[in-house]
Amino acid sequence: MNKEELLNELKTNCMSCQNCELGSTRHNIVFSDGNPNTAKAILIGEAPGENEDLTGTPFVGRAGKLLNEFLEKVGINREKDLYIINTVKCRPPKNRVPTNQEKEECSKYLYKQIEIINPKILIFCGATALQSFYKDKIQISKIRGQWLEITVNSKQYKAIPIFHPSYLLRNHSMEEGKPRALMLEDLKSIYKILKK
């Protein structure tokens, strides 16, 4: 089977998943966005929000629009260069952070998506995504922009944590050293790797 067939089979399994309480409160699973055949990076977010739950597509709300603006600024094509997923596929009620148990139940889908896409790099978008793979307790502000080596299903990947765009919605300054300027720096660093 090719990538799309493997992912469609996985998505079908995911759609009937009731392994945690999120399965009973969702409108849609939010499986992915992007082209699995051309994506060189997987961007991993936290969990679907309300807009994502209604549409079935990750990063389509205000934070998603801001992410798109930043990607465009550095020349990363969301539809071609990235495959976008979340640590969990269903929206936690009231947009709360997913529990460890919810992330654990969903990890088989997450890890399988990574295995099928086999990207050059993983991008951890926000603290929840980072903590799902990086067990040391560290604030994202202390580690963002640093390249890490992460093992998923016994394969090593280059990975980089970046701020979540919802954090940037509360921080508007583009001054040097501020979150928005740091986000641009990190995305430029990612762009260089993608274009090699």
Mean pLDDT of 37-66: 96
CA 111 to mean position of chain CA atoms: 12
Residue 175, both tokens: 């001054």
**pTM of the predicted protein model:** 0.97
Residue 97 is given by DSSP the state: P
Contact 125, 82 (CB under 8 A): no
- How far apart are the C-alpha atoms of 22 and 187, rounded to whole Å? 32
pLDDT for res 41: 98
Mean pLDDT of 22-46: 97
Q: How confident is the model at residue 196 (pLDDT cuts 50, 70, 90)?
A: confident
Specify the CATH class of 3-194 in words: alpha beta
pLDDT for res 135: 83
